[in-house]
Amino acid sequence: MRPTEDLIIAAALPKARLGNTGVYSDLDYVLNQNFDETYFTGPHRWLFRLAVAGNVQQVPLDDEIVIALLEQEQCPAPERLPIQVLFRDLATLDVPREKLKIVLPSYRERVHADRMAAALEEAATVLVDGLKLDGDVQQGYKAARTHIMSRLAELDQKESGVLPVQDIRECADDLMSEYQETKRGREPGIMTGWASIDTLTNGFQKGELAIFCAYTGEGKTQTLLNIGYHASVYQKKNTVFVSLEMPLAQVRRRIIARHTNHHKFGLPGGLDYVRIKNGHLDTYEERLYGQVIEDWRDCPNYGRYTVLQISKYDTVKVLNEKLMYLRSRQSIDLVCLDYASLMAAIRRRSDRREEIVEVIEGLKALCLTFNEGEGLCMVTANQISRKAREEAEGLRRYGLNFASETSAIEKNADFLAWLLRLDEFKANKEVMMGVGKYRDGDVGSEFRLMERYESSLLADII
């Protein structure tokens, strides 16, 4: 793979459009991420300057224009040949925007780490021996502290200047294209597989946080597993299932148990998860189980379903770092987090509800800003209080304030739903679900789903 700075410069160079006199480059995108020529050295820094100059003049760069711009920028003659050689090497290199979105954060982190190391080294010299900075010799604790704080403030300013920005005029064509795709019946968002929700939302979008609330043992994990399964198998989306409770082996067995319900295997109700776990399948079931596993492994029409294990001591910041690592290897269409209120807050508080507020607010911010504004579609769950569950027992449904124990859930969720599994529902192998909030549309009424918990199935009643 090419060095990161090569990819950034190649993307930023103004190039000719095919059959058009205009130019294209990703320079504006790079500049919006708060990059400037100080992030580069040698020939790369000069090419960044030329990219800016060429972009201003709206001309694609070629050998002659590069030579003219180098003279105009008063580049020393001995340095011109390496710049021209690098330009020829990078001018034809195509760097997709998706690749650039991954490269920029990692390169910025590397440069900032080098700058911090240099600042620490300079501060140590100021502290011990003294150092001439800005024309004056500085020495001692106060001077060293002032120096390091100043340098760190500069780095923080560089980081905080990176904002997800979009000029609506520049994406006007995307808006009409999005509408036309929706009109033709395509699925622009992540579908759950449950008609009542999918009709209401037309799919969850990037930047949205969907929260499903339920009491202990009433289907939180099952709900998340099924949403991720439907996205991967029926929409070919890449799903990341983040588990804070179940070990990886248990999650993958449950996913395969869910897959045994697929119509292609002709087994209504699927295979029993417990019998799979304990090795008690009969000969026919074992053969079918092998076919299910092979299908999951080999079918090209399925998206990736990645299981990520984190601990209850991990914060939203840690989750972001792990997801960024996965994003560098593959695209992420959906994150199923099992579940939000188990995560740790950055600051410990005496009231756990205050910590959950921080977690929920952090997750919503992550959905909006992940990977320099690319965004995430995230589905998670929340534990309903015993008091709310007892009230639902009498009403046979949850009221409007079922999530009021933690106001951050109601405020930050784009979509909020509840699950209820009363004894009468259990007898019929059903669970009730209701939508309490949908930020981008009307709120629907409650409905029932068929449940086969022994095979991890949660589906519409046929």
How do residues 234-286 score in pLDDT, each as one tens digit?
999 999 999 988 888 888 889 999 999 999 988 888 888 898 888 898 999 89
Please indicate, yes or no, whether residues 119 and 91 belong to a single structural domain of this protein. Answer: no
> How confident is the model at residue 389, as a pLDDT?
83
212 in any annotated domain = yes
- Percent share of the chain, pLDDT over 90: 14
Which of 160, 178, 211 corresponds to the end of one domain? 160
Domain span holding position 107: 101-160
Looking at the predicted structure, is the pLDDT value of residue 378 above 80?
yes
175 in any annotated domain = no
- How many folded domains does the chain comprise? 3
> Which whole-number Å values give the CA distances from 96 to 12, 100, 102, 167, in the listed order?
11, 6, 10, 20
DSSP string, 42-77: HHHHHHHHHHHHHHHHT----HHHHHHHHHHTT--G
CATH number, domain containing residue 312: 3.40.50.300
- Percent share of the chain, pLDDT over 70: 87
72 in any annotated domain = yes
pTM over 0.85: no
> How confident is the model at residue 170, as a pLDDT?
57
Looking at the predicted structure, is the pLDDT value of residue 373 above 80?
no
Q: CA–CA separation, 178 vs 78, rounded Å?
A: 52
On the question of a cis peptide bond just before residue 339, with omega within 30 degrees of 0, the verdict is yes
- Cβ proximity of 340 and 211 under 8 Å: yes
Residue at token pair 């021996």: 129
438 in any annotated domain = yes
323 contacts: CB under 8 Å, gap ≥ 6: 240, 308, 332, 335, 370, 376
> How confident is the model at residue 1, as a pLDDT?
52
Q: How confident is the model at residue 407 (pLDDT cuts 50, 70, 90)?
A: low
Please indicate, yes or no, whether residues 130 and 246 belong to a single structural domain of this protein. Answer: no
Parallel, antiparallel, or unpaired: how do β-strands 239-243 and 305-309 relate? parallel
Which tokens sit at 39?
């992030």
Which tokens sit at 227?
């949403």
180 in any annotated domain = no
Which tokens sit at 162?
């990176």
